[in-house]
Amino acid sequence: MPHRIFRLLTVVWVGSLLTIGYAVAPVLFTSLDRTTAGAVAAQLFRIEGVLGAVCGILLLGLANVVIRRGGSAYRRLRWLVAGMLICVLVGYFALQPFMNAMRVAALEAGTDVGHSAYAARFGMLHGVSSVFYLIESLLGIALVWKLPVGAGTGSAQQGARGTSGKMAG
């Protein structure tokens, strides 16, 4: 059962990460004005950050449970999850607060952040944040790719073989 929950949390986290970052955010910026798109995207990335932190912590715990039960394939997966979690923590808890503060300060000054005195600093932080998001995405793809195939189905397959063997023999 823990390996199934591990898979579920993995696909929820990686799926939302890829959907928000590479489908939803670009559509927002092509469909809405930059200020509105930025505000909506910031809220979505905030939700993604919390989701990523929760999933990452739960996945690390589940990986430890599965490893204690003999699932050695999950040892290397822990490193991918840990890397993703570090990216989330740096991106969401270290960089995003500064970016949000600049966005709010620019709006209070009557302009958007792109046309404010904070534009260069915001652009630099946005670039660093984007790199962390890309790394997290690549680690997430690797995590999905390396998920053990057939974990937890070995006894069901053996049972099916045993049944067919009894019928044939």
Owning domain of residue 94: 2-147
- Domain-located, residue 168: no
> How many domains would you assign to the chain?
1
- The whole model's pTM is what? 0.83
CA dihedral of 21, 18, 48, 98, whole degrees rounded to 10: -40
Residue 152 lies in a domain: no
Q: Could you tell me if residue 133 is inside a domain? A: yes
Are 22 and 138 in contact by the 8 Å Cβ rule? The answer is no
The structure tokens listed for 45 are 């990335």
Is residue 51 a part of any domain in this protein? Answer: yes
Query: What confidence tens digit (pLDDT) does each residue in 91-125 have?
Result: 998 999 999 899 889 888 888 888 888 889 999 99
Assess if residue 70 is contained within a domain. Answer: yes
Give the residue ranges of the chain where pLDDT is below 70: 150-169
The answer to whether residue 48 sits within a structural domain is yes
Whole-number pLDDT of residue 159: 40
Domain assignment of residue 50, yes or no: yes
Instruction: Report if residue 103 sits inside a domain.
Output: yes
pLDDT at 152: 53
